[in-house]
Structure 1
């Protein structure tokens, strides 16, 4: 509550927050809660309580211009001007959800809570509190450090289609693919992402295509052309017919690196 005793016409500026409410009083004279009023029943008929006008205006920064003027009678004597504020109206909605803004507000911390600003001039969004560690597998940056599920390991093998992988899940190949094709780590790890294990990372561990098994696995004989455009099976079988005739043994697997320059892990 700001109270000022003023002589005659006066202009004051009151600092505060919320919506202003002006009440003019002179003895038994009560101007009420209107912005522009003509008081009645005033005990001081010749003083500033007669036909007094009270106006106020809200300006930036939560400040109020208040103007009091007597349009009839004398301005001699004093009158009391009381300015009351209702900050609860300016801060209506406190505790509700909001989205916090700012380059430093990341992950789950963007989900904030509405709080009352300083001097109760309105609402502001308070960012959420970061968790101590990420919750693995939920795809959320719980600790608000700009990374998702770091240190949790890959949610599925890089040779298997599934949810988007985290570039920091611990597999260097996943990081390479995500740098080249963000879709694989932002949206979905699809068959194209699996195919890039060979084209980007240079490893044949995922290469199978229409083959009976991967090129890096020992098993039955493979058929020329089963690995599609890689044509690694064709190159190997032209130098060693056993690989496509009798069986794909450990020697054939070694040739994946020696002849096709792919790495088998």
Structure 2
């Protein structure tokens, strides 16, 4: 699996190659193209790290052309590109086990329980580690990195930091934080429902529940049993990335 992943690594990590080909893909929830180069602001991160929440909260807060916001690339190339060209960019960071287990459930549903799914879980770990490598090599002071827990617990504070950093214009008719969060959560719910696999929808929904938490525990056990050394490397890189992130 690692050898197979290396074939796509050049695409995912090289901003020039990825950027040239990025317009081929479409976002599943609105059909828009994922052009990397044609954006004035980038919001991105490893899957299941509050990318969607942050993107829509940003749109609800700032008077910024939505077609000039690059988001949901889920590729280290976006980080390298933003850093190299000193782009206005925000990237998300979530603790490894939470990120990877949530992504495994979101992408594979109950399939993760099959023995031949170990390769898929390893792939999710490799992608996460590549993302951390990109975050830890950011050279631009114009790039912000926010922690998942801060994003979901205090989004208005995150918006204040972004506004101060980039001097963005807010919408004239601002609603309260609770109302804005409710609007964003409803949008995410519709996105998940429209793009999800019906038979696994209980594992794909973003809201925590007992069943989902039990499955996340099982994924963690599988990771510890089969990929402990890889996760030790990931955890070390995560601690470095966390120290470089903006904490509120």
TM-score after normalising by structure 2:
0.20
Larger radius of gyration between Structure 1 and Structure 2: 1
TM-score after normalising by structure 1:
0.19
Structure 1 or 2: larger strand share? 1
**Bigger relative contact order, structure 1 or 2 (CA pairs below 8 A, ≥6 apart):** 2
